[in-house]
Structure 1
Amino acid sequence: MSTDSPPEQADKNRFSISEHAFSAPNLEPALYIVSTPIGNLGDITVRALETLAACAVIACEDTRVTATLTQKFGLKAPLMAYHEHNADKQRPKILAELAEGRAVALVSDAGTPLVSDPGYRLVRDVVAEGFKVIPIPGASAPLAGLVASGLPSDTILFAGFLPQKAGPKTRRLEELAKVPATLIFFESPHRTGATLRLMAGALGADREAVVARELTKRFETFERGSLETLADAFEDRAVKGEIVILVGPPEDAPEAEAADLDRLLEEALADMPVSAAAKKVSKATGLDRNEVYRRALELKGAAD
């Protein structure tokens, strides 16, 4: 990576930290995926500043949000709006910049791009055209929440935003209920209480969980407890700020003996349809729901 550049390029490549000016080295042509702070602007990395200072253009979700960052650090690169609503129009422009041998930076409004946003389509097209993609790592809300949560971190599943409506949201949670990992979700503040209540029902009321709010900001908070306890705490509460919900892995359920399974199913089938009985017994035993459903059909057929 060459550091030699003409005077006008060197001036463009400058950035500042606490009124101290620095000059960034030139960049090789590539798409740079640049992580930016999720709240505290002090979390920006020197490498991120060098990249944003030396690139030809910064593609960002909202130019007004990113302008706050560029003004703070004296960055001069032009901003290009790039989001899911204009991606088809803007993507060819980014590819054209790369074809001309320029460096393009991609940022989100906060945190690491492509985490719960559609930027992967741009990366896919850039790779398909034979250009390099270079990650510039940094702040990430899911990881910030995880490391301070106290929940197991050896196996995690980032589930992003759940569906907004209760039915699809519950079905998605039921799909994740038995995943042996700490689950990480984004949620909007006004849906936090209702989502925690659905989680308590679908994932288990006693599941250990953490609600992280306003990570890295002045009013950063972590609230810990069972899903039921947190659902009670957030019910009817006016919540503000960005929310990350983390749910610990399920406890290992003991394998049910065949006789136990049949007894539980017969009791459930006495007052509910097959599908409901299978769902109830599957949740109680930890057995695969499809297998329980097949056995329920057998028992129902024999009884009839």
Structure 2
Amino acid sequence: MRLVRNRLLSYRNQLLPHMQHYYFPVPEQPYLLWFQKPDESNEAFHTDRLGFRFTVSGDRRTSPGTHQGDGPVRLLAGSSSVFGVGASTDAATVASRLWSTYAPAEPWFTFGGQAFNSAQELLLLTLFHHMLPPVSEIVLYSGVNNLVVSRLPEEQQGVHGAHYMGEAPAADAAVPGPAERVQRAADRTAAHLRTWQALATAMGARLVFALQPLASWVRDEPAEQEKKLFAELDKASNFRGVHADIVAMDVGRDYAAALDKRCQELGVPFLDTNQLLASRATPQDWLFADRVHMTDAGYDLVARILAEELELR
């Protein structure tokens, strides 16, 4: 095992040396269960006094804990992909690419916490809403974590859904099939999205739900760098083995369709970034640092897609 781990770290560090600065679990936090450390500074990212990552545009940076000014801001909300796990610097996150290049008219906040489910994403807004300036746009870039934790036992689901600190199912435990997991995750997401919509309406903000990408939902054949990374990561975490029933592209399409239907019922615009990425990326584009988190180039392409599809300026 030691030899395998050393090979993994040496190869991953060769391609993505900054990944050593991303870690989980993050510190415990009342109500949210956990959140990023406040005032953290390392080679990959920096957080404000509240634990939010800074959004960067040139020599400017902003965050919920540091913003000054009366003008409106935009929120990119969600989980670790919003936080920017995989990005080499603060300037490479989706929110930063939107503010610096693709939709710079108003500042963007990186409004996400690592490994959050939809309940935690919603709770983050309710806890920090009183500290926000006026908000004109909310892009909820999410969806994967609810589907991942949908495999946990029913007793851990409760009313608001399971989370990542839950106990893993016993080896002989029955795991719901893909169709049931899609239904469970879509229903849970829609329940929380209803409150997002009510809050956005009260704030005078447009709300959009964008299903974040999973590598195997974007294309069948990964880029060469991704193949090597995924193979070595599988030796350490067995993500594909554990979640083999949901990583198939047809499951991703079913999940997107279920979320789209629920968004239509709520009057919330919906985007599937998986299909949009598939239509724009070339086979050589290295998009993913692991199956969920992206490289600088991947996050940049997502930011461009969001700006174009949502006609953001």
What TM-score, normalized by structure 2, do the two folds share?
A: 0.25
More strand by share: 1
Whichever of the two has the greater Rg, that structure is: 1
Could you say which structure has the higher helix fraction? 2
Higher relative contact order, structure no. (Cα contacts within 8 Å, ≥ 6 residues apart) = 2
TM-score of the superposition, structure 1-length normalised? 0.25
